[in-house]
Amino acid sequence: MQAAEAQSTRPSAQVVPIRRAFPPERQPDRLNEGDALKLIRMLASDSNNIVVIRHAQKRKTQRNITRPQIERCIQKGTITEGPYVNAKGNWQVNLSRFTAGEQITCVVAIDWPARLIVVTTF
């Protein structure tokens, strides 16, 4: 009986939530839309992390899309496709946003975990 009493007087264990580092150091095998958007917003808060490759530069010029429109699309847009792993092995999403009177879509690859690569825009 004393053992039972001793057990009941012990403080109960507390549940401690496990915090996972975000973003993970290595590219994860799975990425949900919420985590993708969280990482994109975090990286896009510094526009130096947004890299527009040559193809996207060409398309933005053809379609009269400006760099600020691309930045706003990435910073405030919603995911309309993805995330999925592209042919280069990076996570990729399509982000869309109505900006400057036009609907803009940016195809963005995540160069884990440091920058966003604009593949194309339309």
17: confidence class by pLDDT, cuts 50, 70, 90: low
Please report whether residue 80 resides in a domain. Answer: yes
Q: Which domain covers residue 94, as residue numbers?
A: 50-122
Evaluate whether residue 108 is within a structural domain.
yes
pLDDT at position 112 = 86
For 62-105, the pLDDT digits (tens) are: 999 999 999 999 999 999 999 999 999 999 999 999 988 889 99
Give Cβ neighbours of residue 33 (< 8 Å, ≥ 6 apart): 79, 82, 83
Q: Is residue 24 part of a domain?
A: no
- pTM of this structure: 0.78
79 alpha-carbon distance from chain centroid:
9
Task: Indicate whether 96 belongs to any domain.
Answer: yes
Which strand (E) or helix (H) includes residue 122?
none
| Residue 29 within any structural domain of the chain | no
- The answer to whether residue 11 is domain-embedded is no
Residue 2 has a pLDDT of 57
- Report the number of distinct structural domains present in the chain: 1
Q: Is residue 60 part of a domain?
A: yes
